[in-house]
Structure 1
Amino acid sequence: MLHPTITKQTLQFLTKLKENNNREWFAENKEQFKLRQTEAKTFFNEVLEKMKTHDEIEKLKVFRIYRDVRFSKDKTPYKYNFSASFTRAGKQRRGGYYLHVQPQGSFIAAGFWAPEKEDLFRIRKEWEIDPSELRDIMKQKSFKDVWGELAGDELKTAPKGFDKEDPNIDLIRKKQFIFVRNFTDKEVLAPDFSNTVSNSFKAIRPYFDLMSAILTTNLNGESLLD
């Protein structure tokens, strides 16, 4: 049985959209867009079903092609990618998944994009006390081969209330705690790409399990869940 895939036609459409990012061209090619969008949504749902075999997923969100240009200097009206996020179910499961399909720019990401103030402080305090579990996870070959190094925006110096000379300042100054895996167009077009995405997300679980434990307890290890 053939599984839903991303086809060359979809990448070609997105390339043409980037080159002709205007409403007139888009209107003339609206039917082609609908076909490509349907293909992408079908693929995202295929990934969702595979992910449900190793995680509890509450929601799939497929992002719109239309850009919000109200506060942007770039007034081009359309994105030239198809993307989706996968939300984990329950307060006890933290972390989010993101999938981005774009010619010569496809990637997946997992982690914490914009932690709330309280969560950010809790994470930083954990790294200040003992980040050994995190560092052990990141050193594991099965993890590192898939996800590489911890990414995300960070401060240039220590956040307020933390010592800039702390030996774990490389973690403490992070504002985001994400991992990213990039893909070539050839990898995206492969018939088993949905498996690759799902298995990659599965490989992030040791990190998610650790962060979920941190974010659902206080510094004394007491549960914050109702």
Structure 2
Amino acid sequence: MTFTGFPEAAFDFYDDLEIDNSKVFWEAHKAQYRSDVREPMTALMDELAGEFGAAKIFRPYRDVRFAKDKTPYKTHQGAFVAAAPDAPATGYYAEIAAPGFRVAGGFYQADGPRLAAVRTAIDHPRHGAGLEKILTALTADGWTLDGDRLKTAPRGWSTGHPRIELLRYRSLTPIRSYGFDPVIHTPELADRIRRDWRGLRPLVEWISEHGRT
């Protein structure tokens, strides 16, 4: 299947789902989800796979077993490309939802040993400075740094550490929002994402290298 862009109806679908997140609505609009959301996302990721690898297209169903929010369906469609088999939570991300389209990359979670390895690299004078340089370039290019952060210093690190702000991250995912840019509805969206993911590659490679255990 060739990617031709997302239809306007993809946003309409998520606007409506946010209002009525029910099985009744879902069953009545399942065909629209497939044709307007999932199939275009699959085609988009297939187009990018030659350079970045195969993507995981996330299921639309929420895991509500331990959640206070029991609404059954996700109000976005995400896709993720892992950077390497041994780094399943590090790579590239794309998402369409009611607020628009966005891309991201980095690492969205890390187990204890991997996070410890990342923090050890941040502490290293050369490796830590390298990460700072990468992130400075990304923010200068319009990326917004996002991720789960501790409010204080992680155990074993001083609040006076020169890179304490980086050490606080438990996940790190720079984000760029496309909003409702008309490119979303065209085949050129693949080229836009390709350029942005290439821009994230130094960060993804840094995490892949230094997050090994």
- TM-score using structure 1 length: 0.81
Query: Following the alignment from structure 2 to structure 1, what is the Cα–Cα distance between the partners of residues 67 and 105?
Result: 26
Identity, % of aligned pairs?
A: 26
Is the Cα–Cα contact under 8 Å of residues 8 and 185 in structure 2 kept in the other structure? no
| Residue 210 of structure 1, CA deviation | 2.5
Query: Following the alignment from structure 1 to structure 2, what is the Cα–Cα distance between the partners of residues 215 and 128?
Result: 13
Letter in 2 for 1:74: D
| Residue 139 of structure 1, CA deviation | 2.6
> Per-residue CA shift, 1:15-49, capped at 9, x if unaligned?
12222221112222232233223233223322x33
Number of the residue aligned with 2:192: 196
Pick closer, same or farther for the CA change 1:112–1:7 going to 2, 3 Å. same
1:209 aligned residue (186, 200, 205): 205
Query: Following the alignment from structure 1 to structure 2, what is the Cα–Cα distance between the partners of residues 70 and 114?
Result: 20
| Residue 101 of structure 1, CA deviation | 0.4
Number of the residue aligned with 1:16: 16
Letter in 2 for 1:18: E
Which secondary structure does the structure 2 equivalent of 1:174 belong to?
coil
| Residue 146 of structure 1, CA deviation | 4.2
Pick closer, same or farther for the CA change 1:185–1:92 going to 2, 3 Å. closer
Letter in 1 for 2:120: K
Pick closer, same or farther for the CA change 1:33–1:101 going to 2, 3 Å. same
Q: What runs of 5+ residues in structure 1 fail to find an aligned partner?
A: 217-223
Which secondary structure does the structure 2 equivalent of 1:204 belong to?
helix
2:164 aligned residue (166, 169, 177): 169
Superposed, 1:1-226 pairs within 5 Å as 3-36=3-36, 37-46=38-47, 48-49=48-49, 52-53=50-51, 55=52, 57=53, 59-91=54-86, 95-130=90-125, 131-140=128-137, 143-146=138-141, 148-187=143-182, 189-191=184-186, 192-216=188-212
Query: Following the alignment from structure 2 to structure 1, what is the Cα–Cα distance between the partners of residues 29 and 89?
Result: 40
Number of the residue aligned with 1:220: none
Query: Following the alignment from structure 1 to structure 2, what is the Cα–Cα distance between the partners of residues 168 and 145?
Result: 19
Pick closer, same or farther for the CA change 1:157–1:9 going to 2, 3 Å. same
| Residue 82 of structure 1, CA deviation | 1.5
Number of the residue aligned with 1:219: none
Letter in 2 for 1:189: I
Is the Cα–Cα contact under 8 Å of residues 146 and 203 in structure 1 kept in the other structure? no
**Superposition RMSD in Å:** 2.4
Pick closer, same or farther for the CA change 1:144–1:189 going to 2, 3 Å. same
Answer with 1 or 2: which has the greater Rg.
1
- TM-score using structure 2 length: 0.85
